[in-house]
Amino acid sequence: MDNQPSDNRWAIYENGNLHIPCIKVMGPFDDELHFEADMQYQPLSEPMTFQVTGANPK
């Protein structure tokens, strides 16, 4: 069994933007909700922080 994620499952950081293609969240009724999210690096933050700029259900 190959434990490597497929190429479309990698989070990508480029030019201060972070794209996370797969996020699993447990919903209020113990159901699994799946999202993808985009975030932007907040310059000079300590510790390093990101702000969510978008999230979409998958």
pLDDT digits (tens, 9 = 90+) for 1-58: 455 556 678 999 999 999 999 999 999 999 999 999 999 999 999 999 999 999 999 9
3-class secondary structure, 7:
helix
CA-CA distances (angstroms) from residue 28 to 3, 25, 51? 30, 10, 24
* CA 24/CA 31 separation, integer angstroms: 10
Q: Evaluate if pTM is beyond 0.85.
A: no
Instruction: Specify the DSSP class assigned to residue 8.
Output: G
